[in-house]
Amino acid sequence: MPKDKKKEEVTEVEHVDRNISSFSQISHLIDAEIITRLSLSHNKLTIVPPNIADLISLQSLNLWNNQIEELPPSISSLPKLRILNVGMNKLTKLPKGFGSFSELEILDLTYNNLSERSLPGNFFFMQTLRALYLGDNDFEMLPGDVENLTNLQILVLRENDLLTLPKELGKLTRLRELHIQGNRLAMIPPELGNLELVGSKQVLRLEHNPFIPRIQDQFDENGAAGVWAHIRTDDYRYFFGRQEPSSTPVPPKRNKEKKVSRKGIQQA
């Protein structure tokens, strides 16, 4: 019985806030073949080693709040990984082939320095993905390839620099949470009205965007539900279709130079 208990313990390693700066400091704790959960949040890691791919049974990897500037391409070959949290780091790009995860369901990239230019071509082809957290980054647009995330239920894009949303978002019919507050959005494509995001089991966050008056008025009077009802009308579809891309002034970016994730990184 004690032997079984010991084996059970080493399948999960949690070293949070231990001043760890290298994976080598905990390598003696890890049995690469049986570890299923590894949590190293609130440490000082700067590098994820390529041999992370040796953890063939790993299902959950939590690296929240470290100082990681890039990830190895090998990370996406983890065959059983379902949860990956690399939020609150210093990522400016993702490695080639990052979208090759075969089982990933939850991906948290919150509070990094990522933009649409940071993503590899296969990023939006993770068909097992159910929740994608991209809040507090530097996205100005989202590629139409997002339509390939057919199982997505939660999409968080809050506090970016988004000027537009792709109409292809309207194809994600399983989406139940959409967070787009704190961006630079003036309008919402009418195709997003296809999504069932209003109700007791749904979440729709739209506040703190420089919406055109007809959308802002609906939000002020009836909240997100009012906006969603409006973008579904024929009147709005007609209005949206007649707008020239250059007809709406571009709202200025917010100053993000004091972001924690920017400290120590040379700005281009």
The 10s digit of each residue's pLDDT in 107-145 is: 999 999 999 999 999 999 999 999 999 999 999 999 999
In a domain, 156, yes or no: yes
In a domain, 28, yes or no: yes
In a domain, 1, yes or no: no
In a domain, 7, yes or no: no
In a domain, 36, yes or no: yes
Q: Which of 132, 72, 128, 79 is nearest to 104 (CA)?
A: 128
Which residues does residue 156 pair with via DSSP β-bridges, in sequence order? 133, 179
Which residues does residue 12 pair with via DSSP β-bridges, in sequence order? 37
Count of domains for the chain: 1
> Which residues neighbour 93 within 8 Å (Cβ) at sequence distance 6 or greater?
70, 114, 117, 118
In a domain, 167, yes or no: yes
Q: Give me the CATH number covering residue 40.
A: 3.80.10.10
> What are the helix (H) ranges across the chain?
2-9, 213-231, 234-242
The 10s digit of each residue's pLDDT in 191-206 is: 999 999 999 999 999 9
pLDDT at 123: 97
Q: What is the mean pLDDT, run by run of 10 residues, along the chain of 268 residues?
A: 50 96 94 96 98 97 98 98 98 97 98 97 96 98 97 98 97 98 97 97 97 97 98 97 73 72 52
Determine the 3-state secondary structure of 110 from DSSP: coil
pTM of the predicted model, to two decimals? 0.92
Q: Give 5-51 as a DSSP string.
A: HHHHHTTEEE--SS----GGGTGGG--TTT--EEE--SS------GG
In a domain, 210, yes or no: yes
Q: Which domain holds residue 165?
A: 12-262
Residue 236: Cβ within 10 Å count = 20
In a domain, 2, yes or no: no
